[in-house]
Amino acid sequence: MSKSSGAGFETRALSQVQQDEKKSTSSIMFIWIGMMITATTLILGATLAASMSIPMVLLVTLIAFTIAVFIMTLNGMQASDTGFPLSILLGKVFGETGSRFAASVVLGITQIGWFAIQAAVCGSAFTVMFESFGITFPVWLSSTIWGAVMLITAVVGFNWMKWLN
């Protein structure tokens, strides 16, 4: 079980994961699969297909995923061996102050952008689904609701995120 406070919130991000608390590969695999099969990924694929030939789309996708998987594999191996999350490992590379600044800026910008796009796409899809039943639902409200659902599952922890994905 992941370590959590009395309120049920995830607190594992800043401490070492002990061997007996580590998750199985299959349980983590479903989170990664859920992250890859998203509306934004499908939109990206459609955009690439509309602007390039199929062989070029496959080549670009293969190169991009190879680079991403290579970097994630190195990070994952180090985190698995040490039991520390990336946020702690960065401190050993950039120093405590440098890692706080660099990681916060890079991760903050990318994750806020990713979250906003995901919430907007999900909210738009939900609105279109309701319109097919003749129900009008504002996109901004739908995006806010689904963004809140994603946020709550991320804050509460791994087990909730597994079910949302």
The 10s digit of each residue's pLDDT in 98-126 is: 777 777 787 788 888 888 888 888 898 89
- The pTM for the full model equals 0.49
Work out the pLDDT band at 4, boundaries 50, 70, 90: very low
Asked if 49 and 132 touch (Cβ cutoff 8 Å), the reply is no
More confident site: 77 or 139: 139
Listed residue (152, 107, 143) closest to 164, CA to CA: 152
Asked if 65 and 48 touch (Cβ cutoff 8 Å), the reply is no
Q: Is 22 a residue whose pLDDT tops 90?
A: no
Q: CA 42 to CA 37: how far, in whole Å?
A: 8
Place of tokens 């599952």: 153
The 10s digit of each residue's pLDDT in 55-97 is: 998 898 889 888 988 887 887 788 778 877 776 777 777 777 7
More confident site: 77 or 5: 77
